[in-house]
Amino acid sequence: MKQTEIQAIGANQRIDKFVRKWLNEAPLSFIYRLFRKKDVKVNGHWVPIDYVVKVGDIVMVYITDAQIEEFNQPKPIIPGAFPHQIIYEDDNCLIVNKPKGLLVHGDSSEKRLTLANQVLSYLATKGATFDNGGYMPSPAHRLDRNTSGIVIFGKTLIAQQALEKLFHDRAGIIKSYLALVVGNVLKDGEIDMDLTKNSETNVVKVVKRGTGMRAITQYRIKERFQDFTLLEVIIKTGRTHQIRVHFSAIGHPLVGDRKYGQYDVNRDVLKRFDYEHQFLHAFQVEFGELGEPLASLSNKRFVAPLPSKEHQIIAQLRDSEQRSNPYDTSIED
């Protein structure tokens, strides 16, 4: 059995989140098994998984010395300049532009090279210190590995909780994406379809209304090309793979999406543009009137420029359109 006392920096968070940070290298299945077996106690008593720890609480976890040595590892601090664009930073939050191919959080395939760890390294170079048992700056939301764009980190626990509430309630924040989809989308619209996820395969699919999680995606046309349409997308709910699955379901899958897209189109895109990711970029976030600790974000808008590769693809599509129709014979009234 191992125990630790809750300090001020680690207070006011759920016990499962505290244990996950304390045993930061443990698989989630191991963490949840501890709670199922009632191997986590606070002040000598079993507590539910959503118990909120307080300053002075004594957390006891029934694991071996070998397990604590394996699972309680310091976060890797990578020296050097932060490798990504910082869009905004204050004492409470950090907004960065994530590239494609980088995980926000670690998973079974990669635990070290993640955006979260790179942010911790950046903050450490500025003098911040971290304790696995306390609060560590964390992203308030996620992006898929192969989706680029805006990710917002809470630098304090109270800011993190406020940001998570914004994303959960979808009030006071609007996050917009740019998506290049297959085919000619005729008009602006909204997709309202229930989704369900297979936890074993990590595949999401559309299901009959009332049998899954409701998901709403709004979109408007930014630009049309011969075979593709560039859309601005706003999600009113935050479901896994929501944008990708919704557009696939209406016959306009994302360009380059290897899981929900069209194989023949993706093959041609790879050959034509040397591009093999889904064309999806979280390009903008807008905040409404906010109170503390996020008052500094009130009524502000932040933009993450489209990555150079995606910008190049759009430029090539425009050029191709102009070359196929060099003379504009339309007449405006």
* Site of tokens 């805006």: 150
Whether the Cβ atoms of residue 266 and residue 273 lie closer than 8 Å to each other:
no
At 36, list the tokens: 């199922």
Q: Residue 193 to residues 176, 196, 292: CA-CA distances in angstroms?
A: 19, 10, 35
Cβ contact 116:106 at 8 Å:
yes
Q: Output the six-digit token pair for 274.
A: 């040397």
Q: Work out the burial of residue 2: count CB atoms within 10 Å of its CB; fewer than 13 is exposed, 13-18 middle, 19 or more buried.
A: middle
Q: Burial, 294: exposed, middle or buried (Cβ in 10 Å; 0-12, 13-18, 19+)?
A: buried
Extract the tokens encoding 182. 């297959």
Distance, CA of 275 to CA of 255 (rounded, Å): 9
From the candidates 39, 50, 131, 144, give the one annotated as an active-site residue.
Answer: 144
90 catalytically annotated: no
CB of 207 closer than 8 Å to CB of 192? no
Q: Any idea which residues carry the catalytic annotation?
A: 144
